[in-house]
Amino acid sequence: MNRGIAFILIATFSFAIMNVLAKVLSDLHPMQIVFFRAIGTFVFIMPYMLYHNVSIIGKHPKLLGLRAITGLLSLATFFMAIKIIPLGSALSLRYIGPIFGAILAFYFLSEKVNKWQWLSFAIAFSGVIVLKGFDLRVSYVGLFLALTSAFFIGFVFVLIRYLATREHYLTIINYFMGVSILASLAFISQWRMPVQNEWYAAILIGIFGLIGQIFMTRAFSLQEATVLAPFKYMEIVYALIMGFIFFGEGYTLLSMVGIALIIGGMICNVIAKSRGHSKPATESVLQKKMT
């Protein structure tokens, strides 16, 4: 098997386990879960960066900070969503993030969105409607939280696309983890001490998050994004299986149709985008849009 594809499958499996652990911890405050997710990665990355003289501050601290904040908002709202709706549904809804990312990239980075991408977006959104309409467990509050998470992850995509060639990838990740830790500590008065198996989940959530990030980074360094992107949707398949095994989350045929439409629409978007040519973002384009 192609190493890039193998690594992306390992990454998605790790992220799926991380999401299961987050749902196990769903009785805790969402920002406490964010803390456990972030601290497990931060304690490994920071010493490595210091030892190898990787910049902590970076060259674009404002944009790095904005990427961290948008990532934090996406993660927190996702953890809030999985408290009240099934894991597979929440993850499927979050995966429409590329739609928001494409729209934001059109505005901020002047990237083109072709007609086939718009069609793929329509297919994915029809899946959202079917999933919400035929899965009564997906409340309007849960739907709003999952879509909010998707919107902010779309914003993250745009910022990472801009920063990826300008900052070390560990600097980008470290900002995210550092801001997440500081923001989560602001809610410490609402935390409670984990009990029994929650301790295992609290420790492992950061470890599997780190494993996922490492293998995801390695995968994209070995293979083109257009080849790997469809395989990333295996995370939803893992979530559906794990949700059934660990939480007894079953799905009706129409709910599965909705999820399939979301996945299919997003894969079509990858294919449609690969046929186009997006010009790289320049300093002036993003800086003018952000001011």
Give pLDDT tens digits for 42-70.
999 999 999 999 999 999 999 999 999 99
Q: Is the pLDDT of residue 163 over 60?
A: yes
Tokens of 69: 């904040």
Give pLDDT tens digits for 27-38.
999 999 999 999
CB 263 within 8 A of CB 236: yes
Q: Is the pLDDT of residue 96 over 50?
A: yes
CB 272 within 8 A of CB 124: no
CA–CA separation, 196 and 219 (whole Å)? 35
Give pLDDT tens digits for 186-225.
999 999 999 988 999 999 999 999 898 888 878 877 776 6
Q: Where are the alpha helices (DSSP H) in the chain?
A: 3-24, 30-51, 61-81, 87-94, 97-108, 115-134, 140-163, 169-185, 197-222, 225-232, 234-247, 253-274, 283-290
pLDDT value, residue 12: 92
Q: Is the pLDDT of residue 109 over 90?
A: no
Q: Is the pLDDT of residue 40 over 90?
A: no
| Section 105-111 average pLDDT | 80
The residue ranges of every structural domain in the chain are 3-290
Tell me the whole-structure pTM to 2 decimals.
0.86
